[in-house]
Chains A and B, each alone.
Chain A
Amino acid sequence: DAGVIQSPRHEVTEMGQEVTLRCKPISGHDYLFWYRQTMMRGLELLIYFNNNVPIDDSGMPEDRFSAKMPNASFSTLKIQPSEPRDSAVYFCASSLEGTPRGAGELFFGEGSRLTVL
């Protein structure tokens, strides 16, 4: 399997513009997570889905952030309008409940580095 695939890898945009980050999870996985990583706050969980249904979005910082999972093989994280403080690396991860190695085994993508000027 190719692993979790994220795009774009790098995005530079200006304040006020809309940003859309994309994720393709590992085939067969039933959980999908969006995390944000910054030097100051580390890795923070934004939202996660189970079987395409949003379960917990309490980590989404503001209404400017939204996420969708229209099917089992695709998810988007949208920021509109973007602000400089949104600059971070955004990771998508997927997992399969009941994996023999136990809960917490998340498979992360390589991340999307967002810079908002």
Chain B
Amino acid sequence: EDQVTQSPEALRLQEGESSSLNCSYTVSGLRGLFWYRQDPGKGPEFLFTLYSAGEEKEKERLKATLTKKESFLHITAPKPEDSATYLCAVQASGTSYGKLTFGQGTILTVHP
């Protein structure tokens, strides 16, 4: 069974204090790993897709990286508007398009 574990469950940062979120996964074969952002009362919003170990993607203050067992979401000099829940999801090889398994998420709070 595919499993996704995210840590920490919650992270509090001061504005400008860089940090990383972790996503560990267990799948029979990785077709893709995805990061989403979810604001309170909203649906998840797609951020990145990573396909293979060593791949990196960047968007503003966020950078996602991938190894064979985990992915990191690095947040550089965060701002209060980066506060949200960050979700990691995987799609296993051999599964149908779009069938994702999500982790429980990391709740990020950035204080001004």
Contact = CB atoms under 8 A, between A and B. Distances in A.
Contacts of A103: 31-32, 49, 91, 97-98
Contacts of A93: 43
A34 interface: no
B87 interface: yes
Interface string B24-61: 00000001101000000111111001010000000000
Nearest to B95: A56
B100 A45 contact: yes
Given A42-B103, A45-B99, A48-B98, A104 B49 contact: yes
B105 A104 contact: no
Contact of A105 (B46, B51, B102): B46
Interface residues of B, number: 24
Contacts of A101: 46, 49
B43 A109 contact: yes
Contacts of B99: 45, 48, 56
Given A43-B87, A91-B43, A102-B32, A97 B97 contact: yes
B73 interface: no
A55 interface: yes
Interface of A: 4, 31, 33, 42-45, 48, 50, 55-56, 91, 93, 95, 97, 101-111
Given A55-B96, A101-B49, A103-B31, 11 more contacts: A48-B96, A50-B97, A102-B51, A103-B98, A104-B46, A106-B98, A107-B46, A108-B43, A109-B43, A111-B42, A111-B43
The 7 closest A-B pairs by CB, nearest first: A108-B43, A102-B49, A104-B34, A43-B102, A42-B104, A105-B46, A104-B32
Interface of B: 31-32, 34, 41-46, 49, 51, 87, 89, 91, 96-105
